[in-house]
Structure 1
Amino acid sequence: MKKRFCIALFSSLLLIITAACGSGSQTSNIQLAEVTRSIFYAPQYVAIEKGFFEEEGLAIELQTTWGGDKTMTSLLSDGADIALVGSETSIYVQAQESKDKAINFAQLTQTDGTFLVAKAPKPDFKWEDLRNSTFLGQRVGGMPQMVGEYVLKQHDIDPHADLNLIQNVDFANIPGAFASGDAEYVQLFEPTASTFEKEGKGHIIASFGKESGHVPYTTFMAKESFMNENKETVKSFTKAVYKAQQWVQEHSAEEIAETIQPYFEDTEPEMLAASIDRYKSQDSFATDPILGKKEWNNLKDIMDEAGELPEDVPYDELINTKIAEEVIGN
């Protein structure tokens, strides 16, 4: 009887100690705004689904804000703590002399994520075939449009003089406008590009990511004030991102597709895997969260070429690599 009492007492004490230790760990809620829903952001969804954020004591509340302007409005108005968006938006905010800078602290993708899609099959496509065609473009000042113009100019095509360029369609409505309209070409992200190809609405004929080289296409950023007040939270967030980036590098497109399927319920697993493989093959997914100076300068060159660089912002002004470097070092 005495032995049973001792065992029961020990078990009770163990439960109390465990509860006391657990009560010290707190979960931080993070409002995360993504600029669009895309397979291009696979590592982000992997970080959520594999519990990497949870392991770092973070609860992610993900919202899709559909467009760079809406995403930055959400971030600057405290509708989001962290935003996944094109790094060019931080330059636009800086040019408006915002009191609270948008700081890039972790890079997710390192190439353009769009593909050139044609209405008709183009087995022998050459870039010069675009001359005098009707091209459904992206939002003025956004990364897809600027990279698109940059690539076209590399092939001696002036997008405004040599094309019938349409730019009055909202980002979210571009796929539908291409399918129902008269445009012969369009830039599309995955899985939309592959879906169109399967349904016979279009044909993937080139990759803007392969043509443009490395650029900080989408990064995680936060207001400078948030980063100063939540240094450990931002570090934990970056740790989770890095874990996901490594996981994506080490696993097959099929395994990644299975993991992120909940975010693309209307897309077949085989198509998801094909899209992921296409991105992996052109090194679109960054292997670590550090945004390099060469990539930043490439971004500014692309913006300048498009006439959209409001001012020359030095690398150290809007980039924080210290957190990512600490994460990788540990």
Structure 2
Amino acid sequence: MNGKWWRAGIAVVLVVAVLLVFAFPKPATEPVRLVYLPAAQSLPLFVAMEQGLFEKEGLGVELQRMENPNQIIDALVVGKADAGFAIATGISAVADTKKPGAIRFNSVFCGTGETERHNDALIVGVNSSISSFADLRGKRLGIMPGIQWNTISRKILKENGIAESEVTLVELPISNHLASLSSGGVDALLTIEPTVELGLSKGIAKIAVDTPTVKWVASPICLGASGLSAEFARKRPAEAEKYLRAVDAAIRQVQTNSSVRQYLVRYLSLSEEVAQAVPLPVLYSRSEFSTDVVGAYQEFADIFFEFNVTSVRPDARRLMLWTQ
């Protein structure tokens, strides 16, 4: 009798235990919060999403598109985002002087003077007579919002012997660049890809000066990056490493497989023709952060000290954690 009651008791305990497991499941892993700019530099993100690279690592992700480069930096620094793509490296350098170590890069895009590797251009309307920065005197120049492109523009104007007061800088969300140019809201745009190629393909714009940042700011010019917040890496190290593995795999695809350009069609609303034609800067992964790459980024970061945006010289090496 006692044996029967003992066995019945064990069975009841097992049933209750099973019910408790299903009633109170183990909490799911928090999704990785990703922010990005609608630019060609976000291609590794698009590859990772389309090829299920995050899912293969057991990660869920939440995407948020930003129109302003400052928004990406702010989200990473204050902990509203875990990682980002098309991160403005100049704004990051300035932010790092105020809150050292908040952001770490795992890849950088560096534009060169080669046509297929450029990042930016000064573009104007197809009937415009502007063919140089000297022609911008008394004109309105559209740029992306934030201190990065404001400072770049000031540097280029200075190198061309143009006083800042002679050109009106107009900050515009990147999605509004071509509309503003075609409507006459601005006389020229200092903009990045794919806006340049899109303007050319639509017959809205022509290139007045190709790769001005390489000519007058730094060569090569490392303007964009992908990276993650130090808080994410510190609080969720295992997930951060899985995330980095997924992005590393996506970067290898961008570096070696031209067919991944097809993803620009979906995420940036480009035609197939434009997606295949848009130039891509050289992409360096964290394992490729050589002295030359760090030096190129430092040369760019130094202009923010030169123009008194920050009172101390930014430390490019500190932002590129995996060089240390």
Give the TM interval when normalised to the shorter protein: 0.7 to 0.9
SS in 1 for 2:105: strand
Quote the residue 1:269 is aligned against: 272
Distance in 2 between the 1:95 and 1:153 partners? 24
One-letter amino acid of the counterpart of residue 261, structure 2: A
How many pairs does the alignment contain? Answer: 285
One-letter amino acid of the counterpart of residue 56, structure 2: E
Q: Superposed, which structure 2 residues align to 1:1-330 within 5 Å?
A: 29-34=31-36, 36-84=37-85, 85-96=87-98, 98=99, 101-111=101-111, 113-121=119-127, 125-142=131-148, 144-154=149-159, 156-158=160-162, 160-161=164-165, 163-170=166-173, 172-205=175-208, 206-208=210-212, 210-211=214-215, 212-252=218-258, 255-265=259-269, 267-275=270-278, 278-279=279-280, 284-289=281-286, 290-291=288-289, 292-321=293-322
One-letter amino acid of the counterpart of residue 266, structure 2: P
Name stretches of at least 5 consecutive residues in structure 1 with no aligned partner.
Answer: 1-23, 326-330
Distance in 2 between the 1:228 and 1:104 partners? 12
Instruction: Summarize the Cα distance change of 1:189–1:221 in structure 2 as closer, same or farther, 3 Å threshold.
Output: same
| TM-score, length-scaled by structure 2 | 0.74
Instruction: Summarize the Cα distance change of 1:54–1:140 in structure 2 as closer, same or farther, 3 Å threshold.
Output: closer
- Displacement of 1:122: 7.1
- Displacement of 1:117: 0.7
Instruction: Summarize the Cα distance change of 1:297–1:182 in structure 2 as closer, same or farther, 3 Å threshold.
Output: same
Distance in 2 between the 1:173 and 1:32 partners? 23
Distance in 2 between the 1:172 and 1:268 partners? 16
SS in 1 for 2:34: strand
One-letter amino acid of the counterpart of residue 263, structure 2: T
- Displacement of 1:55: 2.5
Q: Does structure 2 retain, via aligned residues, the 8 Å contact 1:101–1:318?
A: yes
Distance in 2 between the 1:273 and 1:145 partners? 30
- Displacement of 1:202: 1.5
Distance in 2 between the 1:79 and 1:209 partners? 31
- Displacement of 1:79: 2.4
**Which string of whole-angstrom CA distances, capped at 9 and with x for unpartnered residues, describes residues 88-114 of structure 1?**
333333444x4x842223124123732
Distance in 2 between the 1:236 and 1:185 partners? 43
- Displacement of 1:78: 3.1
Aligned CA-pair RMSD: 3.2
Q: Does structure 2 retain, via aligned residues, the 8 Å contact 1:246–1:287?
A: no
Quote the residue 1:11 is aligned against: none
Distance in 2 between the 1:178 and 1:89 partners? 25
Which 10-residue stretch deviates more, 239-248 or 306-315?
306-315
Q: Does structure 1 retain, via aligned residues, the 8 Å contact 2:157–2:164?
A: no
Instruction: Summarize the Cα distance change of 1:225–1:134 in structure 2 as closer, same or farther, 3 Å threshold.
Output: closer
Distance in 2 between the 1:313 and 1:55 partners? 37
Q: Does structure 1 retain, via aligned residues, the 8 Å contact 2:140–2:187?
A: yes
Distance in 1 between the 2:201 and 2:136 partners? 23
- Displacement of 1:293: 2.6
- Displacement of 1:72: 2.8
Distance in 1 between the 2:132 and 2:174 partners? 26
Instruction: Summarize the Cα distance change of 1:140–1:52 in structure 2 as closer, same or farther, 3 Å threshold.
Output: closer
- Displacement of 1:271: 1.0
Distance in 2 between the 1:147 and 1:132 partners? 19
Distance in 1 between the 2:262 and 2:180 partners? 30
Q: Does structure 1 retain, via aligned residues, the 8 Å contact 2:94–2:304?
A: no
